Amino acid sequence: MAHSYSHLYGIPSTGLRFFTVYGPWGRPDMAPMIFANSILRNRPIKVFNFGKMRRDFTYIDDVVEGIFRCCYKPAYINETFNALNPDKSTSFAPYRIFNIGNSQPIELLKFIEILENALGKKAIKDLQPIQPGDVQATAANTDRLKNWINFKPSTKIEDGINKFAEWYINYYKDILK
């Protein structure tokens, strides 16, 4: 739809795909929040595919920086666009699409280990088989984003999880007693 409006009305449009965003004020239905809550309350966490899933976790500050930079460089028509050999991230319309991700996927068990270290407490893991429809791995290719706005997410998973855990413990301190 965004591409259609870009083409029909010349409206510059940039689409952004985010890869497993985590950090303070995160979505309560996402793994970091669910896992932190369960770990600190001594409740088991369901770990699908026996923890072998790989995710490209991206810290919220990196996502915000990418959005901010894209806002200051709107899409424009690619004069060299070749419809016979198209570059899917660009167009004959003022349209672009980019991935914002850390580009360093890790196994879910490693993520849990880092979170355990940050929270100072071990998780009770309920290892489960893979669920129908689950994606085994995600990984962002951010080369086009780097070329467009000279930006690549750079927060190390350990640093991001430590910031998240510190926020989580502080924010929920009264509830966790």
User: pLDDT digits over 135-161, tens only?
Assistant: 999 999 999 999 999 999 999 999 999
Name beta bridge partners: 107. 54
**Rounded to the nearest 10 degrees, what angle do helices 108-119 and 31-40 cross at?**
50
Residue type at position 177 = K
**Greatest mean pLDDT among 4-8, 72-76, 167-171:** 167-171
Name beta bridge partners: 79. none
The number of folded domains in the chain is: 1
Neighbours of 13 (CB within 10 A): 20
Residue 177: inside a domain: no
User: In which band, very low, low, confident or very high, does the pLDDT at 80 lie, cut at 50, 70 and 90?
Assistant: confident
Residue 121: inside a domain: yes
Share of the chain above pLDDT 90, in %: 78
User: In which band, very low, low, confident or very high, does the pLDDT at 10 lie, cut at 50, 70 and 90?
Assistant: confident
- Distance CA(99)–CA(91), nearest Å, equals 16
CATH number at residue 86: 3.40.50.720
